Amino acid sequence: MEITNKENSIKITQNEYQIEITLNCDSINITIQNNNSLFQSNFGFNYLNKFQFFNGQKSINSIFESILTLIKQNNIQLDVKQHNLKLILIPNLINIANIELILNKQYKLSEIKIIKIIDSHSKNINAIGIFPSGKFVLVSSDRKIIIYDINYTLLQQIQNAHYLDITYIYIKDENNFITCSFDRSIKIWKKNENNFFFLEDKIEYAHHQGINKVTYYSNGNLISFSTDIKIWEKINNKYQLMLIICNCYVQSFLLLNDKNLLISSGNKGTKFWNLNNFKLINYFIYVNCSNNIISRIDKNNIIIGENNILIIISLLKYQVIQKIKISKNCLSVKALTKKSVLFIGIKNYLLIYKSDDNYEYIQKKYTGNEINGFFELNDNLIGTYSNNGIINIWKI
């Protein structure tokens, strides 16, 4: 057994396995790999302190020092079985502290990888929408709308689609989408007989300030988000303002039609609105998320990112049921319900968690750029877009 000790990290080579144990600010990360696979898990103080040998120690640092001492004394074993690995630390013959890395084949690092990198030749990508066919369209800070087919081939590029940065796009169906911009306008785009999109309609000066988000909600009617929320109805082929709610700066939203629920989040907290009458149902005044950091986990739970805290909220009780602390500020979040997996974008990295009751940390992937947001292509492919115009397609 070969041991390499660095500050806050120790590496052990045992047969064909390499083990790395790293001390973080509030947890210990353990990685075990061989030539074929790599498995990783993260353990906090409360979890590790359940073991008899560590019980009563005052900090995660003291536990790390105890592990380091055991390893230096050669009191370590690696038990390899078909479905799990056990890193076994042996304080003495009676008390054995087991740290188990439960292996789920679905989450091998070797199976989550980038299969395509697309240079959009654009500046900061602000949003991406997916058509039912799998084609996708991006909008950017240099006022472009760019449409790709399912093979990532460029189909159409609309230059100067708005006067200022395009902030969001929402796909209605295969033939219609809408965009909004810091130029305060909402634009409605439609496909013509030649399969190219053209500007069908627009609402100019829809808000007093730039518009962050826009969406359809029923019968072609619109909801737009800026320093307030506005409801627009189409009457005699023209959009008319019907209602203004929530005089607050809204950065992100979630529309849940199956629950008749609109969720908005911004500088005055996260609010829950009835989609039928737009009455306020509930709110969390101290939960404020920024752009692209709100997602649905499953039928009854959502996740909101606030700085370096991820907040899980139950839609049944309107209660915060769990908080997850991450190392850096969250830039974007996406939950894949069918895979029970949670993707989190932080600076230069993609974090992956299980979205079950424990929200267990799975792995981290280096991206080299800030992830502005995610888009889901199908059950096995997810895309990320960045602040430098790069799109990565990941195979899950």
pLDDT in tens, 242-272: 999 988 889 889 999 999 999 999 888 899 9
pLDDT, position 79: 61
- Distance between CA atoms of 308 and 188, rounded to whole angstroms? 36
Among all chains, which residue has been given the structure tokens 């900090």? 59
In a domain, 37, yes or no: yes
In a domain, 19, yes or no: yes
The answer to which of 54-58, 79-83, 172-176, 227-231 has the lowest mean pLDDT is: 79-83
In a domain, 286, yes or no: no
Amino acid at 303: I
In a domain, 389, yes or no: no
The answer to which of 17-26, 126-135, 202-211 has the lowest mean pLDDT is: 17-26
- Distance between CA atoms of 291 and 372, rounded to whole angstroms? 8
Local structure of 261: helix, strand or coil:
strand
Mean pLDDT score of the chain, rounded to an integer?
83
Q: How confident is residue 35, by pLDDT bands cut at 50, 70 and 90? A: low
Contact, 64 vs 54, CB < 8 A?
Answer: no
Q: Across residues 46-50, what is the average pLDDT?
A: 67
- Distance between CA atoms of 138 and 120, rounded to whole angstroms? 9
Per-residue pLDDT at 99 exceeds 60: no
* Length of the chain in terms of residues written: 396
In a domain, 348, yes or no: no
In a domain, 7, yes or no: yes
pLDDT, position 342: 87
In a domain, 59, yes or no: yes
Sequence-ordered alpha helix ranges (H) in the chain: 45-48, 60-72
Q: Across residues 128-150, what is the average pLDDT?
A: 92
Contact, 389 vs 123, CB < 8 A?
Answer: yes
pLDDT, position 92: 44
pLDDT, position 254: 94
- Distance between CA atoms of 362 and 41, rounded to whole angstroms? 6
The strand pair at 261-266 and 269-274 is best described as antiparallel
Q: Across residues 38-53, what is the average pLDDT?
A: 65
Which residue range(s) make up the domain with 87?
A: 2-103
Per-residue pLDDT at 25 exceeds 80: no
Q: How confident is residue 107, by pLDDT bands cut at 50, 70 and 90? A: very low
The answer to which of 15-29, 41-55, 328-342 has the lowest mean pLDDT is: 41-55
Q: Max CA-CA distance within the chain?
A: 83
- The reply to whether the predicted model has a pTM over 0.85 is no
The first and second tokens of residue 153, run together, are 């081939």
Percent of the chain with pLDDT over 70: 82
Q: Across residues 340-348, what is the average pLDDT?
A: 85
Percent of the chain with pLDDT over 90: 40
pLDDT, position 271: 93
Per-residue pLDDT at 332 exceeds 80: yes
Amino acid at 260: N
In a domain, 25, yes or no: yes
pLDDT, position 53: 64
The answer to which of 130-144, 171-185, 281-295 has the lowest mean pLDDT is: 281-295
Q: How confident is residue 85, by pLDDT bands cut at 50, 70 and 90? A: low
- Distance between CA atoms of 9 and 24, rounded to whole angstroms? 9
Cβ neighbors of 291 (< 8 A, separation 6 or more) are 212, 251, 252, 332, 372, 373
Per-residue pLDDT at 103 exceeds 50: no
- Distance between CA atoms of 251 and 290, rounded to whole angstroms? 5
Q: Compare 177 and 80 and report the one with higher pLDDT.
A: 177
- What is the total count of domains within the chain? 1
- Distance between CA atoms of 147 and 344, rounded to whole angstroms? 25
The answer to which of 84-88, 191-195, 244-248, 280-284 has the lowest mean pLDDT is: 84-88
Q: Across residues 133-151, what is the average pLDDT?
A: 91
